[in-house]
Structures are given as C-alpha cells and as structure tokens.
Structure 1
Amino acid sequence: MAMVVKNNMPARQTLNKLNKNSKALSKSLKKVASGMKLNSAADDASGFSISEKMRVQIRALDQANANAQNAGSLLQTAEGAASSTVDILKTLKEKAINAANDTNTDIDRATIQKEMDQAIDQISDNANVTFNGIRIFDGGADISKSVQDTIIKALNSEWLKASFEMIQDAYGINFTDGRASVNEMEVVLKDEGDNNRLAYVTHRAVGGVTDKLTLTVNMHYYDDMDESDPNGSSPSTGSQYLDRVIAHELTHAVMAANVKDMDNVPLFIVEGFAEVTHGIDDNRRSTLESLPDLSTGMSGEGAYAGGYAFLRYMNKQCGTGSVQSFMQGLVQYEGDADKAVQSATGGRFSTLQNMIDSFNGAKSAAGDTKAFLLNSCGIDLDNPDVGSILGADANQGEVRDDKGSVLEGLNTKFWYYPSANSTLINGLTVKWPDFQKGEGMKFQVGTRANQVINSAFGSISAEGLGLKADNGTNLSVGTRVKAKQAMTILDNAIEKVLDQQTNIGAIESRLKYTQANLTTASENTVSAESVIRDADMAKEMTEYTKNNVLLQAAQSMLAQANQNSSGVLSLLQ
C-alpha cells in the first residue's frame, strides 16, 4: 500500500464505520429508552402509519366506552325518577279505590283529593329530573309532526284500548278469548272526501268467516282535528268526536271477528250495537224523535237510530243483560238473529220479526215517539246521559255525556307512539301506517358516526300521564263516579310509566354489552398495535450491547488508523 499523507483512506473508512455504529447505537438507545421499536415514520413508514391508525382507534374506543358509561349514569337517574313515580301512582290507585267506596262521604273524598293533589304535583317534580343540566323526560319521543301522527298516538295509547274494554263490558266479546277468527287489523288514514263516512271498518269473509280487518279514518274530516282535545274534536262540518266514532267502528270489527255470517245479520242490528256502545241521545236526537217503524230492511239514518232504539227496547223490556245475551246468541248461532232473540229474551219473543212487531206496536200505541222512547225504551232525550248501554239510563251506571262516552285521561300529552310498526292491543295485532317518531337522545357508543343508541323519553309529568289538564285541573275523586273513572286513568298512567321503565332497563342492559364489547375491542387493538410498535427489550438490549461494542472498537481502530500516516515522517528525516 502506498504511503501517502494527503488522504488517509483507512482512517476515512474507519470513520465511516464509526458513524454508522454511532447511528445504530443512537437508534438502539431510543428503542431501549422509549420501549418502542418505532419512534418515527423513518423507522418503518408503513408500520408507523398502521400503528398511528390503531392508536386513533384505541382512543376512540376508550372514549366511546366512557360515553356508554355516562349514558348508563343518565339512565340510572331516569330509572330512579320513573321508579319513584310508579310508587306514587300505586298510592294514587289505592286512594282512588278508597274514594270509590260508598263508605266514604263526599267530605271524605275531598280529604282524599287533597292528598292526591300533592302526590300529583310530586309526579311533575319527578319528571323535571335532569342529568348534566339536560331534562330527561322532556316528551321528545312523543312530539307529533302531523295530525295523522297524533291520531296514531291516540289510537295506540287510549282509543283502541278503551273501545275494546267498552265492547267487552257491554257484550262480552273480544279478541282475547280465542273465539275471534282474525287477530290482525290494519289502520289506514287517508282523505276520502266529503262522503259522510267519518271512519269505517271493512272486513273480508271467506265462507262467512272473517279473515281480514281494516280500520280507515277519513282525514277529510279530521285533518284539522284539535290536537289538544282528548276526545278528538274537529271543526269540520259533519264531524263528531273521533273517540266515539272509533268505538262505533271497533264494535263492527269485534262483531265481524266473532259472529260467523255477520253479513246476514240485518243492518239495523249491526249498526244498533255500534250505536248503543257509546250512546247517541245527543247527536242523533232529531232522528230518534222522528223514528219510523222498524223493518229488517232499514238503511241510512233510520238503521242507526232504529237499531239503537230496538236494542234499548230489548234492554228495557227484557232486563239488563239481555242485550249482551243477544250478542252472545249471534255468536253462538252464527248470525241467526231469530235464535239469538229467542235466547236473549228467554222465549218472550220467538223470532226477530216477532220482536220488531212488538216494538212497532208499542210505538204506535204510545202515539208520541218521545214518550215511547222514554217509557218503552228507557231513552231520556232530556237527560245528559247519552244512552250508552253501560251508562246511567240503560244500566244504572255512571252518567256518560258526549265527552265522557269514551274514557280518556285529561291531557293529550299522555298520547304516545306505538313501539313498532305493529303492536298488540287487547289481543289484536294492529298494523300502523308510517309515522315519524321523535328521535330523542342519541348516545354515541361507537367509533363511527352511525354507531349510536337512540333513547327517546316520553313525558311522565302529571300532564304527560293524563292526570292534569292543560288548565291545571287535577284528576278528581270527588264523587264515586269520578273515583271509578280515576282508577282506569291511573291504570293507563301506570302502564305508560312502566313502559318507559322497561325501555330504560332494556337500554341499560344493552349498554352493558356495549361496554364489554368496547373494552374487548380496545384490548385487542392495543395488543395488535403493541406487536407493531413495542420493542422486544431483550432483543433491543442485545442489539444495543452489540452496537456499543462496535462503536468502541471503531473508535479504537480510528485512533490506530490515524497513526498510520506518521510512518511517512521517518522517510522525511
């Protein structure tokens, strides 16, 4: 090798190795000090990118888990308020039952009312519970975006149930005892124009047996329905309280499902049963006062009023319970009205025509229709009772006026949406038209935008449970009749709160699974990210020791290489 002094190549080569060893040692020091084999993208660009994405996912999963825990805390707060309200409602039901007993005077009931007023106020206080300043039971779940939605809520929460219970009490037929041939009904809301059909039930029969039911509400009359009136009033000319119309039509539905060959039953009997369910002494007064003689071929207004008067005549002449027996006979004898009349009247009338003749004869003998209705049918047109078969005139029950014919709560804020597109009400599966339910709260429990749990809460205030009217009037037990009605309203209120409580519990249970899933996902992602980024300390210490030894060796050799050129000096002496 040539002896040169300008360029010491061994020293330069050794220096290069020294620098490489120094860099390798520096990298090893970083890995050992940080515990990570990837400290920057330069270490492994693709691996670093994957690791960073995983870290984003881990933090997102941990935050979603925290969200789920916070949501669980909110729901626990909500459940506490709902549970307290249920306890109050139990007490109110107890007080209502007490007030309905005639061992109490009205003075005693007034004392009970004072207790109830305080308890009802406390229910509203419970409903004002908040979490982080957010009012939980804000009623957001039950907000109506259209009159159609309001009618769906009314049907779901009160009108259908109340009507079915009236029909059961009046005639002993229903969808629950296994006799009904069909257990589904579709609800349709549409504008059918000015055709005097406020609502109607259609049924399809095969071999005399009904296998399909449809309830249609004519929105021509109810598109501007007063959404604050529990009875469903409308300013449209020709309309009636929708709750009474529904009770009328559902009588047809229950009859069609229970009476075989119902199409063979005379129209005036079918309509008569529907009219006597809710009473017509008010809205068909003029028709009743000009009532024509009965015939099996009656139609139009005459069939409605004539059938009503005929059944009230049976009730008056043959005793309370004969109308129910008549209905039971139609079920038993598969629509044979002659056999049903004979059975219901205990043989007093052998055929339907025989009873019609008796009715017409009594009417003719009375001379004055109004007197005939009062004396022979028990229909007092001057009485506030509207003449329901369950009311004061027909059955010595409570007075049922036009607004009290169908029993509802005091406030439409009680109404709530069906829980699904079809729901079971008193044994009947009701298929609903499309409705737009309030969204309520959304709990973000996932790392993607659509991974949310909806939690919509209805109102459980006194107004939202139908216990307080908009004008501030509380549910009353001031009389026996009012106490009896209060019992039913409280049952409905309890059902609504329990439904809320069930919903809360279901979401709480779901959140537990959600938290477990998020925890597992976070753990697995951390494990996967560790494989990419965390250093194997044993391996890195070995590498560090190697690089450290190599660095020291390179330093020593550099010193030796720098001494090589000094040999040239001996040639220059």
Structure 2
Amino acid sequence: MKINHNIQALNAYRNLAANQLSISKNLERLSSGLRINRAADDAAGLAISEKMRSQIRGLEMAERNALDAISLIQTAEGALNEVHSILQRMRELAVQAANDTLEPSDREAIQAEIDQLTKEIDRIADTTQFNQKILFSGSPKGRAFAEANSSKVNYVGNGTWQGVVTAAPTEPAEVILDIAAALGAETQANIDGKTFTINGKVYEIDVTNLPTPNGLTNTGHIAVNVAWIEPAATDANIMTNVNNLLSALKAAIEARDSQTFGTNIQKIDVTDPDVSNDGSALTNGRLILKTVNNMSPKEASTISVSTSFTSNVTYLDPVDLTTPVTTLKAKDQALASESFTITFAEPPKNGDTLKIDNLTITFSDSTSSSYTWNGTGGTATIDVSGKDVFQVLQDIKQVLSDAKADTTNNPVGALNSYTVVGSSLVLSTDRTDDGNAFGSSNGLEIQIIDSDFEANKGKELKLEMQIGANESETLGFDLSVMDAASLGLARKADHTTPLSVGVNAEAGIDVSSSAQAARAAITVIDQAISKVSEERGKLGAIQNRLEHTINNLKTANENLTSAESRIRDTDMALEMTEFTKNNILTQAAQAMLAQSNQLPQGILQLLKS
C-alpha cells in the first residue's frame, strides 16, 4: 500500500475527464445540429463543406440575379408593347391619310397626331429604365452626355447640338414716319402721286382743292386724299398741309392694314414754337406706327417701309430717333425670360465641349483652368476625372459665375440666370430673335459637342447576367436602340429629312403632303412594327430561357444542400445515443473516483494495529 501515489484515483480521474470531454462534444453537436463545428472535428469534411456552402450561396444569389433579369426583360417588353400600340395607330392613320377623299387640312390634322406619336416613341426610349439603367437608348457611350430640352437646339451632325434660344417678344414693333414741316410748303404738283410703301401696301397721295380727287396713277394703290393749300404762304398753312397729310395717311393705314397696326398709330402734329413770328422753325410731324402683335426683331424685319419722297420724309428707328430704317424695329429684350434646361445623362468625357453664349467650356481628364477672356470669347477647362455629374455641374456653375462677373467683355450677356437643379443646368434669357444664324445671334447660343457620339451612336446596350455561382457562368444579351430614328420614323421639321439614331425626332414621317407619301409611310411603319416584333420575340425567348435557368439553379441548390447536410449536419439520434452512453460512463467514473479516494484509508488500520 502506497500513500504518495493513488494510481487507482488517477486512472479513474483520467477516464472521468475523457468522458466529460466526450459529453461536451455531444452537447455541442446536439445544441448546434452540426457534426462539424470546428476544423478539429473533421478537417477534410470542413474543407469540402465550405466549398459546397460557397456554391450553395452562389446558386441562391444567381437565382435572384436571374429573377432580376426577368424583371428587367418584363419592363423592357412592357414598354415595347406600348410602342407596338403606337405603331399600329400610326399605320392606321397612314392608311387613312392615303385616301384621296381627304383635303389637305384633313391630312394636316393626321400629321399632327403622327408627329406626337413619334415623339412619344422617343420619350419611351429615353425614359424606360430598370434600376436607373436606360434600356432603349443604347450604350451610354452612344448617347450625348447632355441634352437641351429646347426645340431651338437641334442636332447638326458630328456629335454636335446647337441653336439659339430666344424669349418670346413682349412688346410690339415700331417705326416712326418723320415728315419735316418744309414739306407743307410744296406745291400740289410736287405732292400729288407721291407714295408711302408700308408692309407691302402702296399708299398714294391724291391732292386736290376740288370736291373730288384728281385720281390715282395706279389703280392698285391706296388713295390718301389730302386737301392741300396752295400756296402755303404762312406757317399756319404749312402746318395744316402736313397735319392733313398725317391724318389722311393714318386713316388709310388703319382702314387697309388693321391686322398689322389696328388703331395703334399715334399722330404727332407739326407745331409752331414761336407763334408770334411767322416763318420761324416748325417742329416735324410724325406717325408712330406700332404693330398690334408683339414682335421680335426677326419678325419686325419682314415689315418693310419706303417712300418715293427724296427729301423731307424719313422712317426713323424708334429707339435712337436719328437712324433711318427700311423696316420696322423691335426690342431685342423681352420683359419675361425664356427658361430651359440642359440635362446631363452622364459626366462629360475628355474632349467634350459646352458653349453658352460666348463662353466655351472644355472638359478634360487631366487639366483644368479657370475662366479667362482670350480676346474673342470666354474660355475655361474643367477636369472631370473621377467626378460625378453633380460635381461637374458645380464646376460649371462656378465658371458661369466668373464669366458673369466679367462685365468688361460680357461673354454671357444674353444669359439672365443660371442654377443647378439635380442633374440639370437651368438657364434663362430675355433676348428675342433677331433672325441671325448661330455664330452671330443676339439670342443665347447653346452648343453641346460630344466628342465620341458619332463613333458610338446606335450601339446596342449590352448586358451580362451572372446566372451561376462561378465566374464564367453568365448569360449575355443586348437591347437594341428603339428610338424613332432607329425605327426609321424620325424626321426633321420638314417631315422628309431622316434623323440619325440617338437623335430625337423633330417631326414624324410625312403623311400630309400627298396620298402617295402616306402610302409610302405605310411600308416604313410596317418595317418598324417588324423590328419591334423581332426585339420582343428576342426578349421573350431570353425570358423563357431564364425561367429554365431558375429551375436548374433550384435543383442544383437542393441537391448540393443535401450533400452538404450529409457532411456537416449531425445525426441527432446517433448523437443522443452517444450522449447517453458518455453520461453513464461519466457517472460511473465519478463513483469509481470516490471509491479510489477511499483506498488510502486502509493504511490507518495498519497504523492503529
């Protein structure tokens, strides 16, 4: 018998510890439901299980991706369904317009609806989105980085949109007919038969002191009957002659050109500042001709004025009253501004340009420079590298602020106001249309140059759907450009000149010029219907394929999950059996440990004896 070492107790303790460790593992597996909770449980099994788990989670996400792809296709196909409806209506209208029972006015009404339907096709192409991805305008590189919503800014080719934005006139056009008092001293012979030509109408003076006029030299002229005093020996006679002429001419114009001038003609009589001194200088007499309608300088320039008098009669500019003119004049500024927006679809790229009035902003991916005047115009360069649309717009706003502050050169004099709203630059101008072409206009000039538009326009939107758990398991398809131009329907305002893909229609295909033109339009619309049908058929086939893909993903996911379960999950019944066994062994080990701890007590019996 030994006192220093209780080998039996140590043996019982070792078995007890082993049993407790086994129970701990049993409890862990039973509580987690997993056979493998750590690599030590089954290193190889853990590695296999984790690879399976990555595949399972990948398959689950691929299934969601495929469902998202179907949602995208359904969105696209729904939009094309409406395009089909529009095209069917357009074809119906074209067939109607091809019938010779219609008058030109009837075809014009049909054309108006065709134009609106064509623009709606463009709107659908521009706005149909899924998760902010525009579906039917083609590749983002095949669209302009910005677009002005003004009908006055149009595509001119080579990736360039330009035009002159002007405000609607708010004041009438005017001209001043100035007649010197000296004309009142002329003889009847020198006055009779002289003419004033105003807005294409010839007014001829018919002078007489008799009860009846002398008669006109041309029966197409409009008589201006004036009782003429001869000789005009006094200032009073001279004033009477000129004032009578002004009154007669005013009455004739109001009677024969009421649509243009109405009663907006103001007469200013000749006066004598020094009545007591006969022969003193008299003031000039005037007719201020003012149009009924508000007019721009361009419209006013179409109303010409002239006279056969070589002296004493002058048409004057109503603003400076010294410059002789040959047409009516209108103000180049309106009381109300015209506002429009330039909306940015994406940040500008290196080489793109935006011109506002006489300020040219160039976009770069490496350099920048603030506003400066180069002698002929304002310039600035904005570095767009790594910037989003909102940051670029803030830079543009700063450049405009600097240019507006340059009151010496005034590069943006036609620009009234500017502000940034979301992804749009809102501009306004009060300049009216003076009729000049781009480059020499009095309005607000806008030019947008997309440097790679021509190279990329019309490119389809290519999409790659991740429909599997691994890198190469993708489904690729593309969405065709479905704007009016790609369908062959977009026209310029003349209804005959086709527009290129990526450029919104100004008008629809011609159905109004003749029945033959309407018949030709039927064939073009049929081709557009066929193209949309082909696109819808393609989308439907892809959707059907994706539905099979989803079924395959679900099956693979189910089978792989089952396989992973066999490796990773615990068999609860078997584990419970093991737990029961280990629990009994632990209790037995505890009892034996207690018994082995009593063995050394026998030594005390020896010592007592």
**In which range does the TM-score fall when normalised by the shorter chain?**
0.3 to 0.5
Structure ranking higher in strand proportion: 2
The normalised TM-score by structure 1 is: 0.48
